[in-house]
Structure formats: C-alpha cells, structure tokens
Amino acid sequence: MTSLTTLAQLILKNCEALDASCVARGIAVPSLDDLAYTPGSDVANHDPAVGEAIRTVTNAALQLLSTVRPTPLVLYSLALGGTVSAAAHVAAELHVAEALKESGEKGLHINDIAAKCKTDPLKLAPILRLLASHWVFKEVTPDVFANNRMSSLLDKGQSVEELQKYPESKYSKPSAGMAAGINHFGDETLKLSAHLYEALSDPDWTFSSASNKCAANKAFNTDLTLWKFYEQPEQRERYDRFKIMMASAEKFQAPDLISKSFDWMSLPKDAVVVDVGGGMGNISMLIAKANPELKVVCQDLPETIETGKGRWNGKEREGEASMIAAGRVSLQAYDFFSAQPIKNASVYFLKHVLHDWSDAASLEILRNIRAAAGPDTKLVVMDKVLPYTCLVSEDTDTTEVPGYMRPTLPAPLTNVGAASAGFPYTAAMQMLMIGNGQERTINHFVRLLKEAGWKLECVRQSDALAQNPSSLTAVPIPI
C-alpha cells in the first residue's frame, strides 16, 4: 500500500468518525456555502475524541497536499501567504461582508460591491477572487460574489453606511471581534513580519532581550515598547482593536480553563490568591465567584487598576462591586518588575504574562515572586506549552513532569505541528515580533523556572497541541 493511499484512508476513517459525531449531536456537517455562521454548528466541539479526529484529518490532509503538489509550488504558496492576510484585511476594512448581506445567495456584481465600498472594482475583484479561492466569499457567477459561512464572520453588525459615517465605532457590536482580529493581523502582523529579518540581522538587536528591540520597533520606527506605542493618542484605534480581538479570542477557548487550572478547593479558608498582571480583574472575579472562601488580589499598573475600579464599582455590576466591598476581591497597583508587596500568598497566578516577555525579563518577574513566597506557596502559570513538531518519546525527552501530554501521531504522519494548523507556532512568532516574548516548550519552562528558584511540579493541559493555554504549577526551591 502506498503512503498516499494510507494518508487518504486515514482521512476517510476519521471523517467517518466526525460524521458519526455530528449525527449523535443532531447537527448536519456545515456547508462552506452556508450564508451565515451559526455558533455551535461547527464539527469541532470540546469533546477530546472529536478534537483528535479533526487534528488527524488536518495533519493527514496537509501532509498529503505537501506530498503530491510540486515542491516549488508548496514553498511559493507559503511565501505568498501574506497576500491572503492582506486581502482579508482589505475586505474587512472596506466592509464587503456588510455590502453583501442583503443580497443573500444571489450576490452582487463586483461593480455594485465596489460602489458600496467606495473603491475601484478592477482592484477589488482580484482581492475577492483570492479570498474565494480560500472559501472566504463565493463567486456565484463570473464577477458576482456572495457571502458564505466564512465571510459572514467578517460582518461587524452594522450597515455599510453606518460604518463609513462612524468609523470610530466599527467594533462596537459584539459580532465585530473576528473582523477586529483579521484587521489586526492584516495590519500590525504583516508589518511586523516584513521587518522580522531586519530585527534579527541587526547586530545590536539580534541577541538583545529588550522588549523595544524587535520587529515591532523596526516596523513602526519607534523606541517604545509595543504596549507604550499603543498608548500614544494616534494609535488609539489599533489599541482598541487589539483589546477587542483578545476579548473575542477568549470565547474560543475551553470554558473551564480557569476552574481547571488549579485545585482551588485545596486552599484553606481566606487563602490569598494574587493575580499578578491581572489587568482589570476579569480572571480575579472568575476565581472569586467560583471559590467564595478565597481572597483574590488583582495586581496591575496604576492606570489599568484605576480603570478596573471604575468598571467593577458600577451599578451594572452590583455582584462584583459587593465582592470588592466585602474584601473578597481587591485591586492593587503594582509593577511586576519591582518587589512583590504581598508576602507568603497561597497562590501567585500568572495568566498570559510570561509569554509577553523574554527569558531575562521573565526571570525578573519570577524572582520577585520567589522572594515573596513562603514554603507552601504555589506558583500557577497559564501559558501555551509549545509542542515540538517532532514526536517526543520518554527516551528522547529528558523532562518528566506529571500531567505533561506528549502529542501522538498515527502512521504515516510525521509532523506534529501540522495537526494544529500551525496555530501555536504563529502565536510564538507573534510574541517574538511584538516584544522578544516567548511561547515555551516544556523543557524551556523547566529551565526557566529552575533558574528563578521554582520547581515545576505538574502541568494541566486540555490538549497536547496548545490550542488552549496550559496551567503549570511550581513550588519554591528551598534556598
């Protein structure tokens, strides 16, 4: 049997399993030609068996394509991937999905679409055709395009006229999160990607761990970190768009990540949990609501904390305000590059903090916490555990951490990373480009934590391919 046939049969076997899963859930396999995306209609759900089947199909299909297509074409397709991102950015910014919304499956001629979007039809046509070739929009008949399942997610929930008249409010509707993300990637990410080599080839930058010596600084010609750059008045739109994108992305994660990140019930009454770098307190509130006997302190920079106080003290959030009034949740101004003011907390919690920073900066954060920790303190880090793209066995992996999940592959699959469609690796690139940050492998985490005075005790993972962040629990190494 040829490996091509084996790959095809692997795809078929797992597609049959996914068909059966859809039948059991009482849903039809969604069509790419559907006019709109309906939440809950995806083949994917939070069933681990379904996730494994999807990863196998994805991996096998990509390996099959890379095997049968001419090798130069595969490489050129990778190199030209940025053009698809640019096209999606244009379509979202020009409000093409909104322009097509009323036309239904019949669609509109490119001249009519361009007139609504105030652009040249001869320039818009190749952009939509490139997207349609990736199943985003559909060319119904020559030069006539319609929305489909994919493109409907770009609809920001307003009319074209409203969006053009009030551009500052284009992300104000709950449905605008996907468009915000597409525009972020088509704007910042493309600009940063174009300057990555420039940053790495600069002899004064390539070995620097400074968060203001990376591709973002080359792209925007600034000495500021990206976060300080975002705070400039002229960057308000970019910053707001970024925050909306991140809030939207949270919805696609497993809903019980925080509750399963640590055994919160094991803590004694009135135990103190410090949410370090916790923003305005969203995660702190989740922990406190689910664990009413704990006291949670959210720490972040003064401006963020003041915004958070205003948010939680509002009348529309009376439940949260009462938790603050009762002392169950408190908000504290703190810079995690300075000495930790709360000593001997039961848990110091870091969600999506360390991946923003280089190893040098992360060591400073972790050492400040270690200096404040007591002998029974736990450190909980929520970040991606980046999987290796090769198969890792107990013989080749020197790190043995309870709970760490090694990805597995059925033969003849060879690339673990392909099963995740590259997502955690693109996230790693993002962190590198925006501030010399890092998504880290399990061995990388062990080394980093040990150097800062912590021993990695266990890992909690919802999947082995970092589709969701993992939770790493560490204990102080005795001094």
How is 83-125 classified by DSSP, letter by letter? Answer: HHHHHHHHHHHHTHHHHHGGGGGG-EEHHHHHHHHTS-HHHHH
Q: Tokens for 278?
A: 């916790």
Known catalytic residue: 355?
A: yes
Q: Tokens for 153?
A: 């997610």
Q: What span, in angstroms and rounded, lies between the C-alpha atoms of 448 and 360?
A: 9
Q: Which of 89, 95, 195, 355 is catalytic?
A: 355
- Nearby residues of 321 by Cβ (< 8 Å), 6 or more positions away: 312, 313, 314, 315
Give the H or E element holding residue 138.
strand 138-141
Q: What span, in angstroms and rounded, lies between the C-alpha atoms of 435 and 423?
A: 19
Angle among Cα 65, 69, 75 to the nearest 5 degrees reads 95
- Which of 233, 230, 289, 287 is CA-nearest to residue 264? 287
Q: What span, in angstroms and rounded, lies between the C-alpha atoms of 442 and 404?
A: 8
Q: Tokens for 28?
A: 């039809």
Q: Which residues are catalytic?
A: 355
